[in-house]
Structure 1
Amino acid sequence: MAVKKNQSLDGRQVFGALLRALREFNDVTPGQAALIVGYSESMLEKIERGERNASPEFIDEIEKLLALPGVLEPTATRLREQRHPDWFGEYAEREGEAVSLWSYTTNAVHGLLQTREYAHSVLSAYAPTLDDEEVERRVQARLDRQELLTRKPAVNLSQVILESVLRQPIGGPAVMKAQLGRLLDVSAMRNASVQVMPLSHGAHPGMDGPFTLMETASQEWVAYVEGPDIGHVIDSRKQVSQFQVRYGMIRTQALNEADSRRLIEEMIREL
């Protein structure tokens, strides 16, 4: 049966209902389940209502608790595939499993840091052929990915953003002001670092374009590069090592975290 465009939320509700049914069948209360898997009870209830996505770590722990290995994961995998473009699916899965994520961005604020209004403006402009329903589906999927920042354990995040990205008034002054405020909020998190590569710097190692590096729980690193309607996950150790060296140089040459915050605050005052 073909998947309709408006099924992403319904898919989460189906997954949540399955999770709740299996939990209740095994006589496990929400409080017991939440305690064992390391989530708050309210977050577990949101997953069961289809309001939040379940991370791969959550699924692994809940399957162990219910002694049902491999029962929930196939449904969760199909749901992830429905919520993102085909070419983005592998990245989204790797991102959800990441313990560290480093990214250099040159075109738009990284999806993990976008506000709803900014994401809507970016997706509407980037893909003008998408109808409103599909745009909203992708916006929600993007926002759901941001749970990576606050889950337990939270991802170790490092972002370097080209200054021109922050000076482009995507969505208008009000939207951009809120987006810059969001960056300040993220930069204040203990697990996050936000830096700006100033335009005044001149030539630097990031001129080849944006990329992302991700580390898994098994300490394996992969790189990710993206173009128009195409994305490529790179797991070659030699290539990944080259990206790591490049990112280290970019971070060193960018403004430090304190100076980056001051620059962002100045941009907010200018809007």
Structure 2
Amino acid sequence: MNDGVDEAGWDVEPGDEIEPVVQAVGRLLRVCREAAGLRPGELAEVLGYGEDLIRKIERGQRIPRPEFLDKADHVLHANGHLRAFMEDMRRARYPKKVRRLKELEDRAVEMLLYSNHNIHGLLQTAEYMTALYEVRQPPLARDVIEREVAGRTGRQSVFGREPVPSLSFIQEQVTLERPIGGKTVLRRQLEHLLEISQLRNVSIQVMPTEREDHAGMHGLLEVLKFADGTAIGRSDGAFNGRPVESPRDLRILELRYGMSLVFAADGVPVLVLMDGASRVDVERVREELGVTKVGRADAQAVREATGYAIGGVPPFGHRTSTRVLADRSLLAHDVVWAAAGTPYAVFPIEPKELVSHAQATLVDVRERPADGV
């Protein structure tokens, strides 16, 4: 018997679609081992792992690491047959839910991502991730932590792919202050955020802790948009946390994400109606109004001017006579969904009717990408 370590792989999750491939790799390993005239314990001795690990892999209960297959291929003279599965097993090491998420993120052309508890996974350093998993209760096994970190790190390939997606992050201020893993880990994490924020396709905004209320008070929010016009979204505080794909449900999430469209122009409230997929260029708003300064209105000013809380401001029917600007991008849609007085309700309306009812002025204040399109 070999008392070598049993750590050259990960357990297969029940019902995982990768299970048949893992089982096929296990059967191939056994065929190659028997062809070489070795018993499981003898192969374990040569490779430096435990015999129990070899048996688990051969039964399809353990996902072998790529380096294990590489070494086994050499020892068993498998002529590359085991190495051929290295990439499959590299993908299989990610938990099922992570593989599905990575597939969606790899397809997305735009992502809207709000985090209120800790820094978003796509922005985390490996040591910050590890620290997060290490404080989980009940405690996670070391190989589980390693697998989760590998999966989350693998998702970050989205920053290097072409064509580049548009990534918009909103982080609660407290997530940048909590010293998860210690002050040194946090400092390096914040330095990493600064580096990522320099990418031309990445926007990172901070929600101040002093903000009394906003549309993201109910937790994590994510919207992923795809090139074919479809999208998928999820929020901890909506639809029981389940993913949604219908235009109406997605519009609710988009409104929650991008609802801060009430501005103060030289102290006077102005409402800007904007396509949920676009962002307001504050400087263009200032030029359009001919004022000195334009900034986001705070929660109290929004409520006093409109009668509604941030996240639920409708395009018309306000408490006071509020000036309204409507970006021309709205007219490209057959129907748009507007907030109906609360963060939980929207209503459909044709863009021309929306502009008419809101007595809005049509303007071009949408933020343009770097190429000017």
Instruction: Structure 1: state its 5+ residue gaps.
Output: 14-20, 22-47, 54-74, 257-271
Instruction: Give the alignment of 1:1-271 within 5 angstroms.
Output: 1-4=59-62, 7=64, 9=66, 75=88, 80=91, 82-84=93-95, 86-126=96-136, 128-225=138-235, 232-249=242-259
> Identity over the aligned pairs, expressed in percent?
29
Instruction: State the shift of 1:204 in Å.
Output: 0.8
Which residue of the partner structure matches residue 43 of structure 1? Answer: none
Residues 72-111 of structure 1 show CA distances to partners (whole Å, capped at 9, x for unaligned) of: xxx5xx8646412x44443332122111111000111111
Structure 2 counterpart SS, 1:95: helix
Separation of aligned partners in 2, 1:11 and 1:101: 36
Structure 2 counterpart SS, 1:249: coil
Does the 8 Å contact 2:98/2:152 carry over to 1? Answer: no
Separation of aligned partners in 2, 1:126 and 1:252: 39
Structure 1 counterpart SS, 2:210: helix
Change (3 A) 1:90 1:140: closer
Larger helix proportion of the pair? 1
Residues 181-202 of structure 1 show CA distances to partners (whole Å, capped at 9, x for unaligned) of: 1111111100100000001111
Separation of aligned partners in 2, 1:207 and 1:223: 17
Which residue of the partner structure matches residue 26 of structure 2? Answer: none
Does the 8 Å contact 2:234/2:253 carry over to 1? Answer: no
Does the 8 Å contact 1:98/1:217 carry over to 2? Answer: yes
Separation of aligned partners in 2, 1:231 and 1:90: 16
Does the 8 Å contact 1:96/1:148 carry over to 2? Answer: yes
Change (3 A) 1:162 1:123: same
TM-score by length of 1: 0.62
Change (3 A) 1:162 1:8: farther
Q: Considering only CA atoms, is the larger Rg found in Structure 1 or Structure 2?
A: 2
Change (3 A) 1:101 1:221: same
Separation of aligned partners in 1, 2:129 and 2:187: 14
Does the 8 Å contact 1:221/1:235 carry over to 2? Answer: yes
Residues 50-78 of structure 1 show CA distances to partners (whole Å, capped at 9, x for unaligned) of: 6xx8xxxxxxxxxxxxxxxxxxxxx5xx8
Which residue of the partner structure matches residue 65 of structure 1? Answer: none
Separation of aligned partners in 2, 1:196 and 1:159: 8
Does the 8 Å contact 1:121/1:170 carry over to 2? Answer: yes
Instruction: Structure 2: state its 5+ residue gaps.
Output: 1-58, 71-79, 264-280, 282-373
